[in-house]
Amino acid sequence: MSKDIAAEDRLIFALDVPDADAARALVDELGDAVSFYKIGLELAMREGYFELLDWLIARGKKTFIDVKLFDVPATVAAAVRNLSERGATFCTVHGNQSIMEAAAAEKGDLKVLGVTVLTSLDRGDLDDLGFDCDISELVLSRARRALAAGCDGVISSGLEVPRLRAQVDDRLLVVCPGIRPVENRPADDQKRVVSVEQAFANGADHIVVGRPIRNAPSPRAAAESIVETIRQQFN
């Protein structure tokens, strides 16, 4: 069953730029074409990260804090509590059951998303990490654990979403990075990718798009085109 989410809120733009000034300039350029922004590790390592978060919220934007919290449970719980007090919309946690439970216990109105398997990883990468299992089985296991821990959703490649929808509770929010509206380039570090149409046909709630918008001749036009594609998917 499709959740009641506005088409424009289903697109999350990955604000992966060098500094807060560049982020603000891009947000201004995108205007009302984008309502939901992901701010991740690149910006977190520069000054002005939380000022940028506050600036986005003051402009009525939804915010996704993607720093993949991973630490002892008490530390993660405190970090999530602090984020919830700032008014962020989503945040990611990348850890075991006790870490996810600690995050969920302190989330307030913040929605906590458990990371399943990064879309930059393929079978060979999982072998290097010591995971001797099928990718889709690992995604399913992580999703079930996230829901049991009290998380609101997961980050997952669109490739695994059909199995998530068939075998995990539909309440689970599924956010899909690795979205490529055009053919993936060989130098791209995203390996398990899907198109906008395929992601939502598979059952995604939100998609995260960065470079295909940021590197377009007109980022605003690219964002508007994706939102229109999403709108058509749900009409």
Is 143 contained in some domain? yes
Q: Does the pLDDT of residue 13 top 90, yes or no?
A: yes
Higher-confidence position of 142 and 182? 142
Report the distance separating Cα 201 and Cα 120, nearest Å: 22
Average pLDDT over residues 177-197: 65
pLDDT band for position 175 (cuts 50, 70, 90): very high
Is 184 contained in some domain? yes
Query: pLDDT value at position 120?
Result: 57
Is 1 contained in some domain? no
Query: pLDDT value at position 187?
Result: 47
For residue 72, give its domain range: 7-234
- Residues acting as catalytic residues: 68
CA dihedral for 142, 144, 148, 153, sign (positive or negative): positive
pLDDT band for position 186 (cuts 50, 70, 90): very low
In the block, residue with structure tokens 């036009």: 221
Average pLDDT over residues 18-28: 97
SS3 35: coil
> CA Rg, the chain, in Å?
17
Contact status, residue 174 vs residue 156, Cβ threshold 8 Å: yes
The DSSP letter of residue 153 is: E
**CATH code, domain carrying 42:** 3.20.20.70
Quick: pLDDT tens for 112-144: 999 886 555 555 655 565 565 677 777 788 889
**How far is CA 222 from each of CA 24, 94, 215, rounded to the nearest angstrom?**
18, 30, 9
Residues paired with 194 in a beta bridge: 179
Is 2 contained in some domain? no
Q: Which is nearest to 38 in space by CA: 53, 60, 58, 54?
A: 53
Q: Does the pLDDT of residue 35 top 50, yes or no?
A: yes
For the chain, how many structural domains are there in total? 1
Mean of the per-residue pLDDT values for the chain? 88
**How far is CA 105 from each of CA 66, 137, 144, 149, 180, rounded to the nearest angstrom?**
19, 26, 17, 9, 35
Percentage of the chain exceeding pLDDT 90: 69
